[in-house]
Structure 1
Amino acid sequence: MNCFCCFHKDDLVGDADYGGQNMKKQSGGNDGKRTAQQAAQDVKVHSCRSWHQRVSIVAGAARGLEYLHEKANPHIVHRDIKSSNILIFGDGVAKIAEFDLSNESDMAARLHSSRILGTFSYHAPDEYAMTGQLSAKSDVYSFGVVLLELLTGRKPVDHTLPRGKQSLVTRCVDSGLGGDYPPEAVAKFAVVAALCVQYEDSFRPNMRTVVNAFQSFVESATATAAATPTKRTNYLFTPHAKAVAGICTVIQTNTSLCCKTLKHVPTNDPIELIRALAVAAESSVKNSVAFLSEIKPKHTSNATAAAAISSCEKNLKYALEDFTEFWKAAGKDVKTLAHNYFTCKKTLMSIMGYHWTCLDDIEDKSLLKEMEIGIGVGKNLSSDSYDVFNGLNTIFKTFGIKVKLNEEDTSPRPPPLSAYYY
C-alpha cells in the first residue's frame, strides 16, 4: 500500500522530518485532501480555482520539491512528479506526496537507483528514451508539465487531439479562468514552465530558482486579489480584440502598430476598422510632411541633406494626393470598396513606394536615422494598410463577408491618343 508523505521545513510539511525517523504515514483515502489533477478538473468543470489559488498551489509544491533536492539529507530525486502526487489540503496548501515508506531498505534502494519510475507523459523525452536515468533536473521537467496543467486545465497528453497537438507543451491558457488573470503574470508563469520543460537538462533551472520566481508570483497575485475584488474582463477575450486580431494578423511583419492603432477605435465592424487604419496612415503621413518642413532649416548648410529632405517632402506630398484618390475608390460602403479593390491596393502600394524612395539615396547615417524616426510611423502604417488590403480575401473569409473582390483596375484612365487629333 502506498503511503503519502508530505515533506516540510517550516511551512513545507506538517508532521514529517525527512531524513530522520519521524514520518507520518497516510494511507487509504485522501482524508479530505485533493490532488492537483483533481483541482485542475475542478477548474474546468466548476471554475473554482482562481489564478491566485493556482499560483499558491504551485508555489507550495515547488517549496516541497526544493526541500527534497537541496535540503533533505541525503538529497532526494522524487522521479514521479505529477499532478496526482501533489496533495492539496483544505486550506489550499499543496505538498509533495507519493513515497512508499513501508520498508526503509526499499526506500534507500529507490533513492539511489537509476531505474525508470513514474509516469511516461511527465518524463523528459531525452532522459526517458535515451539515457535511462533520472536526475533532479528530470523532476524539474516533470514539475514544468504540472505547471502547464494548472495553466491550461488540461491533461499532459490528450490522445483525442490530432498528432502534434497531443502534448500539453503545445497548448495555452485555460479558458476556465475566463480572462480573470493578470496577463503579465501569466506570461511570466509560462516562461518559468517553458524553462522547466527545456529539452536539454542543463538549460532547466534548479528548484531554488523556481521557488524564488513563484514567491514573487504569490506576492503579486495576493496584491492583485486584494486590490481588485471584482472580476475584470481581459481585453484579449473581447469581441473588439478578436476583430482587431482578425485584421492585423494578415500583416507580413510586426503587427503591434496595427493592433495599437485599432485598439481604441470604438467599433467591432471590420470594414470600419480597416478604414480607421488607413485614416491613421494618412494622418501620420501629414505629420511626416510637417516634420520634414521643421527640420529643413537646420540642414540648409548641407546641400546634400537639404536636397534629400526636400525630395522626401515632395514625395510624401504625392503620397497625400494618392490618399485622396484612395478614398474616392474606397467609397463609403463595402460593395464600392470591393468593386475598386485592385485600385485601392495599387494606390496604397504607390503610397508605400513614396516612403521607401525617401530613404533610398541618403548616405549620411545620422540624417537617415533622423528621417527614419520622423517619418517612421507614417511609413509603417502605410505599409500595414497595404498588407491589410493585400490580405483582404483572408479578412473577408475570417469575418464571413461574402462580397467578391474585383481584381481589375477601375482607376480613371487618360483618353486615347486619337482624342487629341482632329
Structure 2
Amino acid sequence: MKIALGAAKGLAFLHEEAKRPVIYRDFKTSNILLDADYNAKLSDFGLAKDKPESDKTHVSTRVMGTYRYAALEYIMTGHLTSRSDVYSFGVVLLEIMTGRRSMDNNRPRGEHCLVEWARPNLWERRRIYRLIDPRLEGNFSFRGAKKTAQLAHRCLRRYPKARPLMSEVVEALKPLVNLKDMASSSQLFQMMQEERVEASDGNRRSRSGLKKQVSFTRNGHLPVKTFHIALMNRHFTSHWPSPVVWRHDYC
C-alpha cells in the first residue's frame, strides 16, 4: 500500500497541484520507480499531455501508451482526461493486489485479462480473498484488502466521470498503509486456503492423466484454428481510429 499511495500522490500532483497540470497518459507498473525504502517515484513522461483548459472537457489526441492499461473511452475516441489516468491506476492497483500481470495469456481461459477477471469479484468478501496474491499467505490486512478492492472498482468504472479524482484516491489509501488486522487469523481465510489446496491437488491429478497431443489435418498442415492463433500472436495494426500498432495482449 505504501507503493500505491506514493504513486497516487504523484498522479494527484500532476493533475491538481503542478504549475502546468498534465495528464500522464502511460501510467503502468514499469513506470513506477522505487528507492531503498520503497518510496515510489513516477518516470518516463514522454507521453504526458497538458490538461484541457477549464472550458474544455478533454484533449483529443492520437491514442498512444500501453493498451492493457488504457481506459476504453480513450482507446475508442482519442478523448483524454485525467480520469483516463485514474483508470490506469486502477489496473495497477489490481496488479499489486493479485500479483498478476494486467494481461497474461498463460492463465486459464477467462483469466487472461486481469480487469475482466477481477471486476466481478471486487465487492463480495469471499471473492476478494480469492483475488489476493496467494504468496502473501495471509500476511495482509483484511480491511485493507476490502477497501483496496472497492477503490479499484471505483477507478475502473466504465463511465469516466464516475471515477474518483486522484486526490480522492490518495485520501482513501492513507488509512490503509498501517492496518494490522492480519487475514491469516480469519477463519474464513483459513477455509479459503483449504479449498485452494484441494482445488490445486485436483487439477494436478487431472493433468497427470492427460498427454499432450498435436493434431494435423490429412495433408500434414496445422488446423485452421491453430494457425489463426499463431497469426494473432504477431504484431498487427489496430482498427481503432488512430494508426497505432499494438501487440496482441489486450483484453
Q: TM-score range by the shorter chain?
A: 0.5 to 0.7
Aligned AA (2:10) = G
2:195 corresponds to 1:236: no
Q: Residue in 1 aligned with 2:165?
A: 206
Secondary structure in structure 1 of the residue aligned to 2:80: coil
Note the alpha carbon deviations across 1:346-391, whole angstroms, 9 max, x for none.
Answer: xxxxxxxxxxxxxxxxxxxxxxxxxxxxxxxxxxxxxxxxxxxxxx
Judging changes above 3 Å, is the alpha-carbon distance between structure 1 residues 163 and 131 closer, same or farther for their aligned structure 2 residues?
A: farther
2:69 corresponds to 1:122: yes
Contact 1:68-1:78 at 8 Å conserved across structures: yes
1:47-196 to structure 2, matched below 5 A, reads 55-100=1-46, 114-128=61-75, 130-169=76-115, 170-171=117-118, 172-196=131-155
Contact 1:81-1:139 at 8 Å conserved across structures: yes
In structure 1, the gaps of 5 or more residues are 1-54, 101-105, 247-396, 398-422
Relative contact order: is structure 1 or structure 2 higher (C-alpha 8 Å, sep ≥ 6)? 2
Report how far residue 110 of structure 1 moved.
10
CA RMSD of aligned residues (A): 2.9
Judging changes above 3 Å, is the alpha-carbon distance between structure 1 residues 197 and 177 closer, same or farther for their aligned structure 2 residues?
A: same
Greater strand share, structure number: 2
Contact 2:71-2:87 at 8 Å conserved across structures: yes
Q: TM-score, normalised by structure 2?
A: 0.63
Report how far residue 184 of structure 1 moved.
1.8
Q: Residue in 2 aligned with 1:4?
A: none
Secondary structure in structure 2 of the residue aligned to 1:62: helix
Q: Distance in 2 between matches of 1:140 and 1:81?
A: 9
Report how far residue 180 of structure 1 moved.
1.3
Q: Distance in 2 between matches of 1:107 and 1:65?
A: 11
Q: Distance in 2 between matches of 1:107 and 1:122?
A: 15
Across the two proteins, how many residue pairs are aligned to each other?
A: 178
Judging changes above 3 Å, is the alpha-carbon distance between structure 1 residues 109 and 236 closer, same or farther for their aligned structure 2 residues?
A: closer
Note the alpha carbon deviations across 1:205-225, whole angstroms, 9 max, x for none.
Answer: 01011000011112x43xx28
Contact 1:235-1:241 at 8 Å conserved across structures: no
Judging changes above 3 Å, is the alpha-carbon distance between structure 1 residues 232 and 74 closer, same or farther for their aligned structure 2 residues?
A: same
Q: Distance in 2 between matches of 1:197 and 1:120?
A: 15
Contact 1:68-1:75 at 8 Å conserved across structures: yes
Secondary structure in structure 1 of the residue aligned to 2:41: strand
Q: Distance in 1 between matches of 2:191 and 2:86?
A: 38
Report how far residue 109 of structure 1 moved.
8.1
Report how far residue 162 of structure 1 moved.
4.1
Report how far residue 161 of structure 1 moved.
2.7
Aligned AA (2:143) = E
Secondary structure in structure 2 of the residue aligned to 1:189: helix
Report how far residue 138 of structure 1 moved.
0.5
Q: Distance in 2 between matches of 1:107 and 1:158?
A: 27
Q: Distance in 1 between matches of 2:39 and 2:173?
A: 14
Contact 1:144-1:197 at 8 Å conserved across structures: yes
Contact 2:97-2:132 at 8 Å conserved across structures: yes
Secondary structure in structure 1 of the residue aligned to 2:157: coil
Greater helix share, structure number: 1
Aligned AA (1:186) = A
Secondary structure in structure 2 of the residue aligned to 1:73: coil
Q: TM-score, normalised by structure 1?
A: 0.39
Judging changes above 3 Å, is the alpha-carbon distance between structure 1 residues 65 and 166 closer, same or farther for their aligned structure 2 residues?
A: same
Contact 2:139-2:184 at 8 Å conserved across structures: yes
Aligned AA (1:238) = Q
Secondary structure in structure 2 of the residue aligned to 1:238: helix
Contact 1:180-1:234 at 8 Å conserved across structures: no
In structure 2, the gaps of 5 or more residues are 53-58, 119-130, 203-251
Report how far residue 186 of structure 1 moved.
0.4
Secondary structure in structure 1 of the residue aligned to 2:33: strand
Report the identity percentage: 38
Report how far residue 194 of structure 1 moved.
0.8
Report how far residue 114 of structure 1 moved.
1.5
Q: Distance in 2 between matches of 1:74 and 1:160?
A: 42
Q: Distance in 2 between matches of 1:113 and 1:70?
A: 20
Aligned AA (2:32) = I
Report how far residue 236 of structure 1 moved.
3.1
